Amino acid sequence: MGARPPVHGDRWRAALILTVTRRCNLRCAYCPTVKDGVPDLSADDARRAIDLFLSRYGGGDIKLFGGEPLLRPDIVEAVLTHVSDVSELSVYLSTNGTRFDAGILDLLRAHPRVTLTLSMDGAPKDHDGLRRPLPGEAPSSAAIDRWLPELLRLPRFVVTQTIAPSTAVRAAANFRALRARGIGRFNLLPGYYLPWSAAQLAALEASFGEIATEFEAAWAAGDRLYLRNLFVSAPTPFFNTGFVVDADRTIHPSNLVLAEAVGDRTAVGTLDDPPSPEALAAAAARVPALLDEVYTPDVMASTAAVDRVLTRLCDRLYPAYFAARDARAASGARAARVGAA
Ligand code: SF4
């Protein structure tokens, strides 16, 4: 979502974004990431990037991205082990959910402070229709189903519901399909930097209206239903801004570097020759102009329109969110008084 203040947690958080690997076993219809021709990050370089980030910023968020980071569980484990005692750091791991096994689940249970973000599209028809596996791979929804009960028991598990222009009309149905599978913590991600027709944008708006009604009803009933979009804002929709270390050890101000249209035009250094904080900030300031250069006006207009739809959803939900939060606090205070009496 665009540049709007978040509800809380509005302390600025420095972010280290590590591209563990560009490789991926899926070929999602809407994916902008260049997947081939770049070596994976090494565990040593991941640790080096973290130490550099800590020395510069003293703490913040570490986001493990790909490609599919769990194609390299050894690097993920090296990162989690390296930061396990550093309370100033929060770790986020994004995955397509096709590479879980008992060892990875044990690793996640051993690091309960890690926020695991799983990307899903909704009902299997849309999920598997858009998240096309490489030859020889099983449909990804089947792989997720195998481990979903275990994932739902993790303390910090969020599903990013990705919404393509072609499935916007079914976004509310897909949201309900995910809820029916026990998922209660969401991040909604409509496709940015894609062309959206007027009809598709209208479908997205209508679907988000239905989803907003679901949230309001759940909160009014005292149910815990979480929407991460309410708590984050970003200067550039979709792409992550921060101290970005790509899999080939180059350093960037944004993971826009992943997109084919951008290539390495955002590089400002390497792990051997890192940029100063001022050089990184100057490169970050050039990102909006670069976006205008590499995407067509239609795509930029679509992106802004999609972002406005998401912003309207959040703006509609804030009053219900605050009311539910205040009601919970009041009932907690009543329970405490009863307990103390
Ligand atoms: S799972 Fe992620 S990285 Fe892989 S193709 Fe899909 S969107 Fe791209």
CATH of the domain at 32: 3.20.20.70
Is 7 within the bounds of a domain? Answer: no
Cis peptide bond N-terminal to 67, omega within 30: yes
Under-50 pLDDT residues of the chain: 1-11
Of residues 221, 213, 235, the one with CA closest to residue 287: 235
How far is ligand 1, taken at its centre, from the CA of residue 26, in Å? 6
Measured between alpha carbons, how far is 303 from 211 in angstroms, rounded to an integer?
20
pLDDT tens-digit readout, 57-111: 999 999 999 999 999 999 999 999 999 988 899 999 999 999 999 999 999 999 9
256, 163, 1, 94: CA torsion to nearest 10:
-60
Is 77 within the bounds of a domain? Answer: yes
| DSSP one-letter code for 33 | B
Is 6 within the bounds of a domain? Answer: no
pLDDT of 334 reads 75
pLDDT tens-digit readout, 177-213: 999 999 999 999 999 989 999 999 999 999 999 999 9
Structure tokens belonging to residue 200:
């598709």
Residues whose beta carbon lies within 6 Å of some atom of ligand 1? 24, 26-28, 31, 33, 66-68, 96, 131
How far is ligand 1, taken at its centre, from the CA of residue 99, in Å? 13
How far is ligand 1, taken at its centre, from the CA of residue 86, in Å? 30
Of residues 113, 117, 109, the one with CA closest to residue 83: 113
Is 22 within the bounds of a domain? Answer: yes
Residue nearest atom 7 of ligand 1, based on CA coordinates: 31
Find all residues with CB under 8 Å of 331, minimum gap 6, and list them. none
Count of the separate structural domains present in the chain: 1
Measured between alpha carbons, how far is 100 from 102 in angstroms, rounded to an integer?
7
Q: In what order do the strands lie in the sheet with 60-65?
A: 226-227, 185-190, 157-163, 115-120, 89-95, 60-65, 15-19, 241-245, 250-254, 269-270
Full residue range of the structural domain in which residue 302 is found: 15-340
Is 46 within the bounds of a domain? Answer: yes
Share of the chain above pLDDT 90, in %: 73
